[in-house]
Amino acid sequence: MGRVTPSLSLYLVGLHRTLGADPNFYVEVARIADELGIDQLAVSDHVVMGERVDRYPYGPFPFGPDEPWLEPLTMLAAIAAVTKRIRLCTSILIAPLRPAALLAKTVATLDALSQGRVDLGVGIGWQQEEFEAQAIPFSDRWKRTDDTLRACRALWQSAPANFSSATVSFDKIFCSPRPAQARLPIWFGAAMSEKMAARIAEYGDGWLPLGAPSVEEIDKGAKLLHSAFAAVRRAPSELKIRSGLKLQSAADGKPDFAATFAPCEKLRAVGATHFSLALPPVKTLDAARAFLEPFAAAFQPYKG
């Protein structure tokens, strides 16, 4: 597989804790990231939250149930209006909480507004109360996710569109506008398995491993994905894998970006194409810029 130019992703979450409650801080940070050449911006999703955040399956949940979660597609639409090139990623959007036709229309509209900059990162959710609040079954959320996203693909590709499944069906339905991208990328935030690899090969495009995975984890997942892509005659070069990184600090406590990006070459060698870091707590927009300028600059040699 030929090497592709790696991309740098910035994850924005919890800005209210230090910058303040105004959601426009997300917009302003995104404007700075776009200006500095960062390739992708990611925002996350919860529609509602119940009290039982202790049920989070990946360790301690870093947020309380009453903290604000901005609706990601709305947030990215605002960001699209003030940026020119940065890609707009949901990381992740809980797909089974959205009706398929409405999700297809909203995502297509955002892609058209942004002139083809959307990366739809999806997951199935983990908190049962979030599903119960919308009268959506929690137990079949993988089936509902598959049906929803296959239905979106149908609506984006055909006019009129037909689709039939256990949870979503329609006949001779028109959904306009279409996405600006001929194939809008769908990424999955989930643990890798043969079943997940087959799912991504069928109607997805990328994998969002949880946290900051090891080289061995990326290697194992990439091999499963390459095999699945080959089975459906898709080129491995179509696959995208985004690896999270851990921010490293120097002895003086300042960010050490050389150490932070040190794993990138090994991760890239086994299949990673994108590298992601969350914006750490900053108290002002000037502080955000002071972090992001060396962050973006330190990654430039990896694009050479």
pTM: 0.96
pLDDT value for 304? 72
Query: Cis ω on the peptide bond leading into residue 236 (within 30° of 0)?
Result: no
pLDDT value for 3? 67
What backbone phi and psi angles, to 5 degrees, belong to 40? Answer: -145, 145
Q: Residue 197's CB: how many other CB atoms inside 10 A?
A: 24
pLDDT value for 132? 97
Q: Report yes or no on 170 lying in a domain.
A: yes
Quick: pLDDT tens for 252-271: 999 999 999 999 999 999 99
Q: Report yes or no on 2 lying in a domain.
A: no
Q: Report yes or no on 137 lying in a domain.
A: yes
Q: What is the domain count for the chain?
A: 1
Render 151-168 in DSSP notation, one character per residue. HHHHHHH-SSEEEE-SS-
Q: Report yes or no on 1 lying in a domain.
A: no
Q: CB–CB of 96/136 below 8 Å?
A: yes
Quick: pLDDT tens for 38-65: 999 999 999 999 999 999 998 899 999 9
CATH of the domain at 74: 3.20.20.30
Q: Residue 60's CB: how many other CB atoms inside 10 A?
A: 7
pLDDT value for 208? 98
Can you tell me the mean pLDDT for 220-249? Answer: 97
Q: Report yes or no on 268 lying in a domain.
A: yes
Q: Report yes or no on 187 lying in a domain.
A: yes
Range of the domain at 127: 7-303
Q: Report yes or no on 128 lying in a domain.
A: yes
pLDDT value for 1? 45
Strands 240-244 and 87-94: unpaired
Can you tell me the mean pLDDT for 117-126? Answer: 97
Query: Cis ω on the peptide bond leading into residue 136 (within 30° of 0)?
Result: no
pLDDT at 202 over 50: yes
Average pLDDT along the chain: 96
Q: Report yes or no on 105 lying in a domain.
A: yes
